[in-house]
Structure 1
Amino acid sequence: MRIEINVLGPLDVSIGGVSIVPTASKPSRLLAMLALNAGHVVTTAALTAEIWDRRPPPSGVPTLRTYVLKLRRMLDRALAGEHGTTSKDILITRRSGYLLDVAPSAVDAIRYDQLSVAGHDAVNNGDHETASRTLGEALRLWRGPVLADVAPGPQLGIEAMRLEETRLGDLYLRIAADLRLGRHHQLLGELATLCARHPLLENFCAQHMIALYRCGRQSESLNAFRRLRATMVDQLGVEPSIKVRRLHHGILTGHASTDEDDLVFNG
């Protein structure tokens, strides 16, 4: 029996290739909450708060039970060819709530977090090749924004924000490892796109400046800094950080060095 739970993009939960994702919004939130907490009990209070945006109606608990019943019916249909396994073996009722009993490896967000930790360990050990490979594997699990087709409630919104912020940090570290490995030519297109998507994120701009400079494109590197500074002053009323300004000065004078690159990697 193959169970796949994907939340790093549109919600996709399937058993043996058969989807069990509800079409309605509130049951989808229920499944998303159980999926993101696979292997752990999610309390009835937490589920009703999520489904009804912290304002469950008096009928909230009975309605939740109805959603669980419908989800179990979908599970049973998907399990039709699996002898000896029923929906109650997978979606388990506990005294305080419900538990989705699946292997952690079935959930893309859990696999992502594990690979992210391993990638950070490689960075801390100075193993740039392993860091690039491991973080790259983690980032390839993403198919789009977290739960892209589910309107999140308060708890799902917080978890989606955590995962998105972790993704940006891991992306930065993976690019830093690739720069350390001399892959600046291959990074130019990716970094140009990231700077366009995140014009206020200094780290991606600094990495773009470094990659351009190493490719012999000093004027374009300086232009990247000018765009960053103009955007930050216009939208935030602040200058780029001292580390990025030092990098800009090194590129301007033609004396940017590996040591100055460290100002960005360690920031």
Structure 2
Amino acid sequence: MKFDRNGPNWLNLPNLPLTLKVLFIGYLLVIGLGLCMAGLQIMMTHGMADGKVGLSLDDVVYSYYGNRNGTTLETKLNGSMQDKAPQEVRTEIIKWARKGAPESEWEPRFREVFAQHCIKCHSVIPGIPNFTQYEDVQKAAVIDEGASIQNLTRVSHIHLFGISFIFFFMALIFSLSVNVPRWLKEVTIALPFAFLILDVFSWWLTKWHPGFAWFTIIGGFGYSLASAFMWFTCMYQMLIMSRNGKVYGNAWEADIRLDDL
């Protein structure tokens, strides 16, 4: 198939019409803020799995493989849920869970404890245990084996569908950049998708063996770095390079010419 090489000479990030620049910059600003919020959310959930601030290898292991030296309740109360109840209350719940969470102590004592400290979230948010019910609490008072298969399936498909759309539109905008070597542009566009697959696949591998937790960190760091490079390149070219008055021509023309060779 032959392409018309005489495409519009404004089809590049510095020379885009103002309306398209406003559209692209607005999208990138919202996506950039959203990715920052996602990083903060990870730090406040997975990043606290070991009870310490900051994302570590142990956080990844505890999140997906679990801490098999204690119950799920204990792991959460010593980790990401540490700030939800005072130390003495958390200790009391942990001791109860270690005894097997006997039902005889649920009504006279622990129903009220969970009602006071837990059910604000654990009764209304889909996908997490309903702690108004003893049966759900009892399921959490077993050895912590990390994320369930059901939860991994749900989160995996959400990430694969949702984040791939973000990467697609960001990469489409980045493809209009100029003065970026073609090989670098192609690699940068491909990397977020590759690292996203690695990231999600590593959750399942870590569920099987904790040694694969490194791949989760590599995947997350990899697509974050590639996305940041695309984001800053696009913003720089639309906001800074556009001021020099140069006309850069059709950004896709060189790619089309090389494809026809």
User: TM-score, normalising length from structure 2?
Assistant: 0.33
Tell me which protein shows more helix as a share of its residues. 2
Report which of the two structures shows the higher radius of gyration computed on alpha carbons. Answer: 2
User: TM-score, normalising length from structure 1?
Assistant: 0.32
Larger RCO, structures 1/2 (Cα 8 Å, 6+ apart): 2
